[in-house]
Amino acid sequence: NAGVTQTPKFRVLKTGQSMTLLCAQDMNHEYMYWYRQDPGMGLRLIHYSVGEGTTAKGEVPDGYNVSRLKKQNFLLGLESAAPSQTSVYFCASRTEQVGGYSNQPQHFGDGTRLSIL
Amino acid sequence: KQEVTQIPAALSVPEGENLVLNCSFTDSAIYNLQWFRQDPGKGLTSLLLIQSSQREQTSGRLNASLDKSSGRSTLYIAASQPGDSATYLCAVHTGTASKLTFGTGTRLQVTL
C-alpha cells in the first residue's frame, strides 16, 4: 500500500537554486495538496488541485509553482530558492465526497525536509 | 479568516491515564473537523473525521466530539499507552476543495 509518496525525502539547496518536489498517489484521488510545516505555525496550504490539469493558490503560494499534468502526480517547484523556504513539505490527496457529504479524509505523505543555505 | 488553536501545546501523562486534548476554531461555518496523529519525522495519519452534522466519532480508545456552535472539539484518549506518544493535530475544513486549516498541535508523551 504505497498511498502518497514524496520524492526526495531530504534535500539541501543553496540560495537561488531551483528544484522540483514530486508527489505521487496511487489511490486515484481527484484532489491533491501541498503544505509546508514550520515550527510554531502548523501546516499551511501552498497550492492545491481539484483535478488533472487544474491548480489553485492556497494560503502561502508566493515563490512556488505547481503542475498537475497527470492525475496521480502533483509537482511543487521552487524557481529560486530562498532561506525562508526552509521547511518540511507535505503532500496530501483526497477522493471526492461520497453522497454529497464532506466525509473523506486527506491522506498525507511522509514529507520532504528541505534546507536552503 | 479561520484560526485554529490547540491547548495545551504539550502534555505528559503516566500510562493508563485518560486524557483530553482541546481544539478551538473561530469560524463555525465548517464542513468537517479532522484529528491527525504525527510521529516524529513522519507524515500525518488521519484518526477521526467528524462531519459538521455530527456530535462525535469513536475509533477504539479514541473519541472525538464536536460543538460547532461554540467552535470547539475535544479528543478523548482512554487508558493511554506509551505508543500514543505523538503530536496530535486538529484541522477544520472550510470553503471549497476541502482546504484544511490546521492547529499547531499538542505534543503528547505517555510515560511508563
Provide, as residue numbers in chain B, all residues whose Cβ is less than 8 Å from the Cβ of A101.
51
pLDDT score for B94 = 81
Q: Residue B13, exposed/middle/buried by CB under 10 A (0-12, 13-18, 19+)?
A: middle
| Of A11-20, A103-112, B12-21, minimum mean pLDDT range | A103-112
Q: What is the pLDDT of residue A98?
A: 63
* Residue of B31, B42, B51 with shortest CB distance to A110: B42
- Asked if the C-beta of A43 comes within 8 angstroms of chain B's C-beta atoms, the answer is yes
According to the model, what pLDDT value does residue A102 have?
Answer: 60
Segment A61-80 mean pLDDT: 96
Please give the grid coordinates belonging to residue A48: 492545491
Query: Could you tell me which chain A residue has the CA closest to the CA of B44?
Result: A108
Helix (H, G, I), strand (E, B) or coil at B65: strand
State the DSSP string of A21-71: EEEEESS--SEEEEEEEETTTEEEEEEEESSTT--EE-SS-TTEEEE-SST
**Chain B residues near residue A35 by CB distance under 8 angstroms:** 102
**Could you report the per-residue pLDDT of B46-102, keeping only the tens digit for each?**
999 998 889 999 999 999 999 999 999 999 999 999 999 999 999 998 876 668 899
Q: Give the three cell numbers for residue B48.
A: 477521526
Give the model's pLDDT for residue A67. Answer: 97
- Span A57-71, average pLDDT: 95
Main-chain phi, psi angles of A114, to 5 degrees:
-115, 125
